[in-house]
A and B are shown apart, each in its own frame.
Chain A
């Protein structure tokens, strides 16, 4: 209800007939009480139907032998989870996911911090620089993956060509575990560093300037100031970006999927060198149509994301705290 600045008027307002309140007034009252709920209803409807329900239902499906075409073939309890535990493809996918996640997230966030510190200086053409770093983020993942697939080509790739200048033999990026993980991480870093830098920059703008002036008077170096003042001051933001990168990083899909020369029909290299968990979920649950097993993979991934988010939350709080 709308707050009135004046105290409520005399309770016994002259109401000529209590029975027959003017319909206008009654309508207005209903409007005030009910309309707010109507306004927020669309969001909750969409979220319940297409966000929450599927996620919970995934748990139900994972307890069944369930095929997309044939439907429910019966309750099997935790059998799918038992299969998952002894499925080498799953463990391989999990290893790849974690490896790419670490290889991309750590450099990306550190680089973003440094870049934000640069952008926080008194720059000329501020908007130009800021927009420039965000540009990679507006390009679609698919386009990024296609371009990088060429850049990382074995025979005619630009990266191998440049390495050749330094006498390095051409690398077959797709065939090795580490080389492919490195290449995919480069795509992720390229796409997200600027975005994170802008988020850090926004936080840095609200650090009290007096702190910097004080540090300058004390003769602290830029490096020292950065680590002892800037980083601890933007701690909540760092924790936030670590959480978001964890949630997205562990669900990585498009970059590795399209890095496979077979595109969306591939499984991440000839011997699954870079198949991530989400790619495995897509292979089993969508392409092979095993909904039960696919849902099991989804739930396992959900739990992994949860655990990692918690670990990272604690870690980043500790690292970014003041001493």
Chain B
């Protein structure tokens, strides 16, 4: 993919005098240094962009060729015409439809419930006063440090006990709400739900839940959308826990099906990478559509220095 070449930088004054802020520039963007970066910076960034995109592009190239094309003296660099045959082969080899369906159910449910439950808790922490709220919130943040991956064996036994082994509940229920989500929505409520509105609703005799539903939730809609996206991606991409607790033949997710494509007697790269391309496509498309908000979100959520 050709990277968009940026416009050449505005001619900078050759002598290094203190730059005056340009009135045209938005005040929200704060950058270091006064001078416009030179071609070197754009060149470096372009190289990084190419490196970022190349594996995905390569995956698409291989996906659109037959397997023998990969085994050539010099690897092909342009897409071929076998994409649809390869896609058909993926669907013949593994139950990709079922996997997509399962992944959609899992990621969709987890995203919706995360937004809703995190918003409830975030609203409580940001706008309600109750004894112990401070240290309960510290506890929430602290749980982010607990490596849940290490508890998988008892978790697995628990799921068997509940009769959830091999069922989607096993991946959905533990992910219904997350500390990150609570943290995120608390931040959102702090920023966008004015105290006055809450007071007004209270004076009007609104119950807490009604205030949440009619005042807070509509106000944090943009942040909720970003959280939904991030959660959806995380759930869609999850691998370790579904691998442990789901039955790959009965209830695969997209990631499990992809990993199965990789473990054959001989490696059919074009099959493998067609699967990989299909598996990342939904998330990459979503990301490209919403990149502005997600990048803005990541920047907001970062720990301030």
In angstroms, Cα B278 to Cα A139, docked, is 11
- Given A49-B158, A122-B34, 13 extra CB contacts under 8 A: A2-B128, A31-B207, A35-B128, A43-B117, A43-B179, A49-B174, A54-B155, A128-B4, A135-B284, A139-B56, A199-B298, A202-B304, A258-B259
Give Cα A119 to B150, complex, Å. Answer: 36
Contact assessment for B240 and A126 in the assembled complex, using a CB-CB cutoff below 8 Å:
no
Q: Once the chains bind, are A253 and B240 in contact (CB under 8 Å)?
A: yes
Of all chain A residues, the one with the shortest Cβ separation from B295 is A130
B143 engages A51 (CB within 8 Å): yes
A299→B279 CA distance, assembly (Å): 34
Contact partner of A141 among B70, B117, B239, B304, CB < 8 A? Answer: B239
- B interface majority secondary structure: helix
Contact in complex: A217, B153 (CB < 8 Å): no
Q: Which residues of B, 167-199, contact A by the 8 Å Cβ criterion?
A: 173-174, 176-177, 179, 182, 198-199
For residue A295, which residue of chain B has the nearest CB? B153
Q: Tell me whether A46 and B177 are in contact in the complex, defined as CB-CB below 8 angstroms, given that A141-B237, A247-B147, A251-B150 are known contacts.
A: yes
Asked if B148 and A199 sit within 8 Å, CB to CB, the answer is no
User: Interface of B with A (CB < 8 Å)?
Assistant: 3-4, 6-7, 9, 16, 18, 29-37, 41-42, 44-45, 48-49, 51-53, 55-56, 58-59, 62, 70-72, 74-75, 117-118, 120-121, 123-125, 128-130, 133, 136, 140, 143, 145-158, 173-174, 176-177, 179, 182, 198-199, 202, 205, 207-209, 212, 233, 236-237, 239-240, 243-244, 254-255, 258-263, 267, 269, 272-273, 275-277, 279-280, 283-284, 287-288, 291-292, 294-295, 298-300, 302-305
Which residues does A use to contact B, with CB under 8 Å?
A: 1-3, 28, 31-33, 35-37, 39-40, 42-43, 46-47, 49-55, 57-58, 61, 68, 115, 117-136, 138-151, 153, 155-156, 158, 161, 190, 194-195, 198-199, 201-207, 209, 212-213, 216-217, 222, 225, 230, 233-237, 240, 247, 251, 253-254, 258, 261-266, 278, 281-282, 285-286, 291, 294-295, 298-299, 301-302, 305
What's the nearest-Cβ distance from chain B to residue A212, in Å? 5
Contacting pair A237 B279 (CB below 8 A): no
Q: A135-B52, A161-B75, A237-B305 are in contact. Are A46 and B173 (CB under 8 A)?
A: yes
B156 to chain A, nearest CB (A): 7
Q: A28-B207, A140-B236 are in contact. Are A263 and B262 (CB under 8 A)?
A: yes
Assuming A47-B179, A265-B263, A305-B147, is B117 touching A146 (CB within 8 A)? no
Q: Is the CB of A204 within 8 A of B32?
A: yes
Interface of A is mostly: helix
Q: A43-B117, A61-B154 are in contact. Are A146 and B262 (CB under 8 A)?
A: yes
Identify which of B6, B291, B305 gathers the most chain A CB atoms within 10 Å of its CB.
B305
Taking CB atoms, residues of chain A closer than 8 Å to B199 are: 2
* A-B pairs with beta carbons under 8 Å apart, 9 shown: A35-B124, A68-B156, A121-B41, A133-B48, A135-B287, A143-B59, A147-B55, A216-B33, A286-B244
Residues from chain A with Cβ under 8 Å of B125 in the complex? 40
Contacts of A35 in B (CB 8 A): 124, 128, 207-209
8 Å CB contact of A156 from B4, B71, B128: B71
Q: How far is the CB of B33 from chain A (nearest CB, A)?
A: 6
B33 adjacent to A285 (CB under 8 Å): no
Are B302 and A198 in touch, CB under 8 angstroms? yes
Structural contact, B157 and A68, CB atoms closer than 8 A: yes
Looking at the complex, which one of B58, B74, B263, B298 makes contact with A198 (CB distance below 8 Å)?
A: B298
